[in-house]
Amino acid sequence: MRIQVYLEPSDEGGYTAIVPSLPGCISEGDTKEEAIRNIKEAIKLYLEPIDDETWMIPHAEKLELAL
């Protein structure tokens, strides 16, 4: 899988990595290499499937939509 990541220098030093296609998927690192390692891990966690049993919301209707 290939995914676009933006890497920008932070004002405080280090780098911030942002994945525009995954809202809220952001990470940081003191070096570019560390920021890239960290964002790879963040992407894996973001895309990791969740157990449906732990994500049950009482009284919610479950829908599956085709896009």
Model confidence at 8, in pLDDT bands (50, 70, 90)? very high
pTM of the model: 0.73
Tens-place pLDDT, residues 15-50: 999 999 999 999 999 999 999 999 999 999 999 876
Model confidence at 60, in pLDDT bands (50, 70, 90)? confident
Going by C-alpha positions, the residue among 64, 65, 40 that lies closest to residue 52 is: 64
CB of 21 closer than 8 Å to CB of 6: no
What are 11-21's pLDDT values in tens digits?
A: 999 999 999 99
The domain spans of the chain are: 1-35
What is the dihedral angle through the alpha carbons of 3, 32, 23, 44, rounded to the nearest 10 degrees?
60
pLDDT of residue 54: 55
